Amino acid sequence: MSASLSFALWAIMIGALLISIVLSGSLLKRLPLSSAMLYLAAGIALGPVGWELLRPNPLLHAQFLEHLSEVATLISLFAVGLKLGLPITDRHWRLPLRLVFVSMTVTVGLIALLGVYSLGLPVGAAILLGGILAPTDPVLASDIQVENAGDRDWLRFSLTGEGGLNDGAAMPFVLLGLGLLGLHDLGPFGWRWLVIDVLWAVPAGVLVGVVLGTLIGKLVVYLRSRHRESLGLDEFLALGLMALAYGVALLSDANGFLAVFAAGMALQRVKERNVPPAPRHASFSATETQESDNDPAHASAYMMQGVRGFNEQLEHIAEVTVVLVVGAMLTFVSFDVGVMMFVLALFLVVRPLAVWLGLLGSRTTVDQRRLISWFGIRGISSVFYLMFAISHGLPSPLAERFIAITLSVVTASVVLHGISVTPLMALYSRRKARFRARASHRLQGRSRAKPK
Query: Which residues, including other chains, have CB under 8 Å from residue 107's CB and lie 6 or more apart?
Result: 130, 133, 134, 350, 351, 354
**Structure confidence by residue, pLDDT tens digits, 356-389:** 999 998 888 888 999 999 998 888 999 999 999 9
pLDDT at 446 over 90: no
Give DSSP secondary structure letters for 252-292.
TT--HHHHHHHHHHHHHH-S-TT-PPPPTT----HHHHHHH
**Structure confidence by residue, pLDDT tens digits, 237-267:** 889 999 999 999 999 999 999 999 999 999 9
Whole-number average pLDDT of the chain: 84
**Structure confidence by residue, pLDDT tens digits, 160-195:** 999 999 999 999 999 999 999 999 999 999 999 999
**Confidence band of 295 (pLDDT split at 50, 70, 90):** low
CB-CB neighbours of 52 under 10 Å: 14
Report pLDDT for 121: 95
Report pLDDT for 319: 86
The residue with greater pLDDT, 10 or 218, is 218
The single-letter DSSP state of residue 334 is: -
In this prediction, residues 344-365 reach a mean pLDDT of 93
In this prediction, residues 385-405 reach a mean pLDDT of 95
Report pLDDT for 271: 64
Report pLDDT for 411: 93
Q: Roughly what angle, to the nearest 10 degrees, separates helices 234-251 and 201-227?
A: 150
Report pLDDT for 281: 42
Q: Give percent of the chain above pLDDT 70.
A: 83
pLDDT at 436 over 90: no
**Structure confidence by residue, pLDDT tens digits, 42-84:** 899 888 888 788 888 999 999 999 999 999 999 999 999 988 8
Rg (CA), the chain: 23
CB-CB neighbours of 340 under 10 Å: 12
**Confidence band of 298 (pLDDT split at 50, 70, 90):** low
Instruction: Fill in the amino acid letter for 83.
Output: K
Going by C-alpha positions, the residue among 194, 87, 205 that lies closest to residue 150 is 87
**Structure confidence by residue, pLDDT tens digits, 116-157:** 999 999 999 999 999 999 999 866 666 788 877 777 888 889
The residue with greater pLDDT, 367 or 99, is 99
**Distance of alpha carbon 267 from its chain centroid, rounded?**
18
Q: Is the pTM of this model over 0.75?
A: yes
pLDDT at 320 over 90: no
Whole-Å CA distances, 414 to 7, 74, 85, 330: 29, 20, 28, 13
Going by C-alpha positions, the residue among 239, 378, 400 that lies closest to residue 322 is 378
Distance CA(267)–CA(235), nearest Å, equals 14
- What would you measure as the largest C-alpha separation in the chain, in angstroms? 88
Distance CA(333)–CA(44), nearest Å, equals 12
Contact present, 159 and 153 (Cβ < 8 Å): no
pLDDT at 278 over 90: no
Distance CA(262)–CA(211), nearest Å, equals 9
Q: What is the 3-state secondary structure (H, E, C) of 217-242?
A: HHHHHHHHHHHCCCCCCHHHHHHHHH
- 97-111, 180-194, 281-295: least confidently modelled range: 281-295
Contact present, 137 and 163 (Cβ < 8 Å): yes
Residues 33-416, CATH architecture: Up-down Bundle (1.20)
